[in-house]
Amino acid sequence: MDGIVLGLFLLAAFIGGFASGLAGFAMGFIVSAVWLHLITPIQTTTLIVGYSLWTQGYGVWKLRRSLSWRNVAPFIIGGTVGVPIGTVLLTYIDPGHMRSGVGLLLIVYGIYGLAQPAFKPLQADVAADGGVGFLNGILCGLTGLPGFIITVWCQLRGWTKDVQRAVFQPVMLATSVMTGISLSVTGTISAETVRLYLLGLPAMLAGLWLGFKLYGKLDDVAFRKVILVLLVVSGLALVAAQGWPIVRSSIG
């Protein structure tokens, strides 16, 4: 890895950590747009999962006084069932096409939310929360990206910023742990991946720290706008990451 490639790798790690500290998610979306052009897809997925243990774990610790495990439990239970199903579906569904489709949906939803700042919070029960956790788990198993369904759901519920993060961050942490265990069992973690992990960790942690510092300055309205903007950026990153190789091959 030469100097320019290493610089891009570290910059993506920093920005991903910053986004996670500021909004509680989006690291995987953002770094994928860069890392998939620098390292292998397996390394990218492994690093995202490994760093998510830090970003989500740190977020859960910082917001521990706001946690309500009774609210979080349905999402985690549903996700525990959904993740292995999504993994099985990998043999039938192209995850690249799934990421592109999800990216387009995130772009549409984010732009719509920014254009319609006022909305009526959605009312739902425990069964609905469990169903959302189940779908979130399936898509995580398919794409390796935890959290976009649960993040959108928290937005639709109209919760305050601390309540939202106290729900979706523990869910994303649990999903990352399950995915990490799966990767360890299958033996996909190589010595080169560990080296990249250690190289990028300081940059990611620096971004995470800075993002959390700025998070404390946001009110609920500003937080909602940040989430929506990051959803649009995440959608664009997913579409770019999947579409650029196709465009490059057609040009070549």
- Convert the pLDDT of each residue in 207-233 to its tens digit: 999 998 988 888 888 888 888 888 888
With cut-offs at 50, 70 and 90, classify the pLDDT of residue 252. low
Cβ-count burial 6-25 (b if 16+ within 10 Å, e if not): eeebbebbbbbbbbbbbbbb
- Convert the pLDDT of each residue in 125-181 to its tens digit: 999 999 999 998 888 777 767 777 888 898 888 888 888 888 888 988 888 887 777
Region of residue 121 (phi > 0: left; psi between -120 and 50: alpha; otherwise: beta): beta
Which secondary structure element, helix H or strand E, spans residue 181, and what is its range?
helix 161-186
- Convert the pLDDT of each residue in 27-56 to its tens digit: 887 887 788 778 887 788 788 888 988 988
Please state the domain count of the chain: 1
**What is the pLDDT, as a whole number, of residue 61?**
87
Report whether pLDDT(244) > 70. no
DSSP 8-state assignment for residue 189: -
**DSSP codes joined into one string, 42-80:** HHHHHHHHHHHHHHHHHHHHHTGGG--HHHHHHHHHHHH
- From the number of C-beta atoms within 10 Å of its C-beta (0-12, 13-18, 19+), residue 117 rates as exposed
Question: Are 47 and 196 within 8 A, CB to CB?
Answer: yes
What is the domain extent for residue 62? 3-251
Nearest to 24 by CA among 142, 125, 172: 172
Whole-model pTM: value is 0.75
With cut-offs at 50, 70 and 90, classify the pLDDT of residue 251. low
